[in-house]
Amino acid sequence: MNKKDALGILLLVALFWLPTAIASSEEVVEEVYVLVRESELLAFSAVGDRWVTQDLRPNERVLDSKYNGHVAVVFTKFRVLGFSALTNRWNEEKLMVDEEMVTLEAKGNVGTAITNLRALGFSAKTGRWIVKRFGTK
C-alpha cells in the first residue's frame, strides 16, 4: 500500500468517526438527582450546587419519580411536581378528582406526566408546568 492509499483510508475513517464523536459530545449531562424520603423530596442541582427540599403532605405517597438532564418529575397521589436544575425550584400541579397517572417521563429539559384526563409538560428552562386537558368524545 502506498502513502496515497493509506492517506485515503485514514481520511475515510476520520469522515465516519467525526460525526459520531460530535453527536456523542452533545449528549445531555445529568444535572439533577432526586431522593424520595418518607416526608420530603430532595433534589440536588449540579447547576445550583445545592439541595432543594420539597415537603410532602401528611399521607402523601410518591407513586413514581424520574430524573434526567436538567429536570425531575414526581407523581404523588395528590399532585405532580417538577424540579428544574436551571431555576433550582420545585413547581407543582394539583391532580383533579379521579385523575390517574398513565406515564411519567423526564429527558433533558422536559418532564411529562400523562394522566387519564390531561397531558402535563414541565420545562426546566422556565420551571413551569403547561397543561392540556383532553377533550371528551
The domain of 101 spans 32-133
pLDDT at 131: 97
Residue 9 inside a domain? The answer is: no
**Helices of type H across the chain:** 3-25
Residue 49 inside a domain? The answer is: yes
pLDDT at 14: 45
The domain total for the chain is 1
Q: pLDDT digit of tens for each residue in the chain (137 aa)?
A: 555 554 445 444 444 444 444 444 456 578 999 999 999 999 999 999 999 999 999 999 999 999 999 999 999 999 999 999 999 999 999 999 999 999 999 999 999 999 999 999 999 999 999 999 998 65
pLDDT at 129: 98
pLDDT at 4: 55
Residue 5 inside a domain? The answer is: no
| Single-letter amino acid code for the residue at 92 | E
Beta-bridge partner residues of 78: none
pLDDT at 30: 86
Q: Cell 483510508 appears where?
A: 9
pLDDT at 136: 63
Residue 62 inside a domain? The answer is: yes
Residue 108 inside a domain? The answer is: yes
Query: Alpha-carbon distance 135 to 127, whole Å?
Result: 26
Rg value, the chain, Cα: 21
Q: What is the pTM of this model?
A: 0.78
Residue 77 inside a domain? The answer is: yes
Residue 41 inside a domain? The answer is: yes
